[in-house]
Amino acid sequence: MEKKMSELHAIAHKMVEKGKGILAADESTPTCTKRFESISTESTASTRNYYRNLLFTSKGIEKFISGIILFDETFHQSELETGKKYPDFLSGLGILPGIKVDQGLGDFGDGEKLTKGLDGLSERLNNYYSLGARFAKWRAVINISETFPSKDCIEANAGTLAKYALACQQSNLVPIVEPEVIMDGNHTIDQSFDVTSRALSSVFDQLQNHNVSLQGIVLKPNMVLSGYDCSYQADIEEVAEKTINCLSANVPTEVPGIAFLSGGQSDELATLHLNEMNKYETDWNLTFSYGRALQQPALKSWQGKKENTTIAQEEFIKRAEANSLATLASL
């Protein structure tokens, strides 16, 4: 058990090492289809594989990316040139393969959500580990409105995240713990701070209640932002200060690193916020686990055309390098 935990701790530290971050390439098929529709490209198993292959084979990716979260379909697909399954291909580059294991959102009262996927989870985790996965991801969603989030919803999602995290560690996988407070709405940055604090406090209470080793997890939280429809939009310095203060008050020092999600931010703004936060002295490595904020320029450049592959890869690497510099406050 001690050896197993030391291995998990080492993997968690590798996931959040300075100068690198995690690529979230785990969009569900419906989400990927919407993104492809934006560039007038048909979404099929083949085109989705081609696009993700484009990202994963970008020259120099291993300099900036420590791990990649895969969707189940991609996890079982193969790199186009070598024919290697993606977990093996990525491991060969020194990139940790990960897997999204939650099964989407269910309703929890009026307007609130609880993530599904605990049924049969241990069996799925053991299978993914045997096929090369070294970490997993589970996303909880907390919405803000005049009437929610309710305490019950926060606690239910925190409890589910803790059960998932424990199951991961029992299966030799590092859990990415993702309690995402959604920034859609007209709420203020202070309301974001309050709800994010409540969510993080509840999550760490539950993780400790379930005896999850905090040195063997990666936290993937939202940044503390003004709601996207709020009339006052906090500037980069205020976002960084409020986010750091929120984390400092609620995240134990044993956690090795924090890999922020980008939410609905533009790719440039997500990078600038990360850069500003890394100017602070903290107990954790602060890095990124972005999906759209890493991929969007590449997707636009690709346009579903093979002849645009190289330029799309160059755009992807530009974003990855910019975020790498942001983990060092070097922009």
Q: Comparing C-alpha atoms, which of 54, 75, 192 is closest to residue 128?
A: 75
Tokens of 143: 């919405």
Q: What are the b/e assignments for 70-91, b being 16+ CB within 10 Å?
A: bbbebbebebeeeeebbbebbe
Distance of CA 21 to the CA centre of its chain: 10
Tell how strand 96-100 and strand 105-107 pair up: unpaired
- Residues with Cβ within 8 Å of residue 181, at least 6 apart in sequence: 142, 144, 192, 195, 196, 199, 221, 222
Query: Any idea of the CA torsion for 60, 63, 67, 72, to the nearest 10 degrees?
Result: 0
Query: Any idea of the CA torsion for 199, 23, 41, 305, to the nearest 10 degrees?
Result: 160
Tell how strand 135-142 and strand 113-115 pair up: unpaired
Return d(Cα 217, Cα 167) in angstroms, integer. Answer: 12
Asked if 113 and 191 touch (Cβ cutoff 8 Å), the reply is: no
SS3 227: coil
Distance of CA 238 to the CA centre of its chain: 23
**81 in catalytic set:** no
What DSSP designation does 221 have? Answer: P
Asked if 149 and 114 touch (Cβ cutoff 8 Å), the reply is: no
Active-site option among 27, 112, 178, 180: 178
Return d(Cα 40, Cα 234) in angstroms, integer. Answer: 35
Active-site option among 85, 100, 113, 220: 220
SS3 93: coil
SS3 of 2-30:
HHHHHHHHHHHHHHCCCCCEEEEECCCHH
**220 in catalytic set:** yes
Return d(Cα 65, Cα 95) in angstroms, integer. Answer: 7
Would you please indicate which residues are annotated as catalytic (active-site) residues? 178, 220
